[in-house]
Amino acid sequence: MDQVIERQRATVAEHIAAENRHDWTGVINTFVQDDRAHYDVVPLSAVFPGIDGVRGFYQSIAVALPDLRIDVKSEYDVPGCSIREVIIRGTHQGEFAGVPASGNPIRIEMAAFYTFDDRTGRLISERIYYDQATVFGQMQGKMTSAVA
């Protein structure tokens, strides 16, 4: 069981490191490369199915927050699932979920759940939870992002 957890932890670390480098090909390569892959944005009730859907999600993030930075605050792992509590920071420089670019700083506290293919150790899914009202408020300049 320890080997399974270590393999999951290594995959998630590789995934987040690639996100922080803005190496979107590297991020996509942490997923299984078939229709089982998916990205779920729970606050938007949006699922991006298949590896092409995952790729499309990350393309939208690269446009919306081109200076994205992820800091891991806590880690939890059980066989088949890893959870990371993170803080995402960036500047809203492109459209996201219908909100046009504002140039405002964004800070998102988020929980990300990762599921894995047992055979390869690659991601099947990432499912994220965060407060969308706060994010939209920051994008629209109606509230400031907290500093932490």
Domains and CATH numbers, the chain: 2-139 (3.10.450.50)
Distances in whole angstroms, Cα of residue 36 to Cα of each of 11, 49, 110, 131: 17, 8, 23, 27
pLDDT given for residue 123 in this prediction: 98
pLDDT given for residue 148 in this prediction: 45
What is the model's pTM?
Answer: 0.93
Where residue 112 falls among pLDDT bands split at 50, 70, 90?
very high
Q: What pLDDT, in 10s, does the model give residues 30-71?
A: 999 999 999 999 999 999 999 999 999 999 999 999 999 999
Q: Which of 63, 56, 73, 122 is nearest to 94 (CA)?
A: 63
Q: Judge whether residue 22 has pLDDT over 80.
A: yes
116-140 exposure pattern, b = at least 16 Cβ within 10 A, e = fewer:
bbeeebbbbbbbbbbeeebbbebbe
Q: What pLDDT, in 10s, does the model give residues 125-148?
A: 999 999 999 999 999 887 655 544
How many angstroms separate the first and last alpha carbons of the chain? 35
Q: Coil, strand or helix: which one is 28?
A: helix
Q: Judge whether residue 23 has pLDDT over 80.
A: yes
pLDDT given for residue 129 in this prediction: 98
**DSSP string spanning 113-127?**
EEEE-TTT--EEEEE
Task: Give the DSSP H or E segment for 81.
Answer: strand 81-91
pLDDT given for residue 141 in this prediction: 85
Q: What is the mean pLDDT of the chain?
A: 94
Average pLDDT over every residue of 81-88 = 98
Q: Coil, strand or helix: which one is 135?
A: helix
Q: Which of 46, 63, 52, 4 is nearest to 28 (CA)?
A: 52
pLDDT given for residue 142 in this prediction: 79
Amino acid at 10: A
pLDDT given for residue 144 in this prediction: 59
Average pLDDT over every residue of 102-131 = 97
Average pLDDT over every residue of 77-94 = 97
Token pair, residue 63, equals: 């446009």
